[in-house]
Amino acid sequence: MNIPGDLRRRNDGSTWEPDVIIFFQNGSIIAADAGRATGAGDFGPFQTNTTRFVVIGTLPSAFNREITPGNLNPGDRPAVEGDVNCDRCVDDADLLQVLFNFGGDDPNSDINGDGVVDDADLLTVLFNFGSGC
Q: Using 50, 70 and 90 to split pLDDT, how confident is the model at 102?
A: very high
What is residue 46's DSSP assignment? E
42 or 81: whose pLDDT is higher? 81
Same domain as 85, residue 51: no
Q: What are the residues whose beta carbons fall under 8 Å from the beta carbon of 85, sequence distance 6 or more?
A: 71, 93, 94, 97, 108
How many Cα atoms within 13 Å fall on the side-chain side of residue 106?
16
What is the pLDDT, as a whole number, of residue 97?
Answer: 94
Query: What mean pLDDT do residues 83-105 have?
Result: 89
- The answer to the question of residue 55 being in a domain is yes
Q: Which domain holds residue 97?
A: 78-133
Give yes or no for residue 112 having a pLDDT over 70.
yes
CA distance 114 to 133: 27
Query: What mean pLDDT do residues 106-120 have?
Result: 88
Same domain as 110, residue 82: yes
Query: What mean pLDDT do residues 36-47 have?
Result: 76
Which of 42, 67, 92 is the C-terminal boundary of a domain? Answer: 67
Q: Using 50, 70 and 90 to split pLDDT, how confident is the model at 40?
A: confident
Same domain as 98, residue 62: no
What is the pLDDT, as a whole number, of residue 124?
Answer: 93
CA distance to 83, 89, 96, per residue, from 93 (Å) = 9, 9, 5
Number of domains in the chain: 2
Same domain as 36, residue 87: no
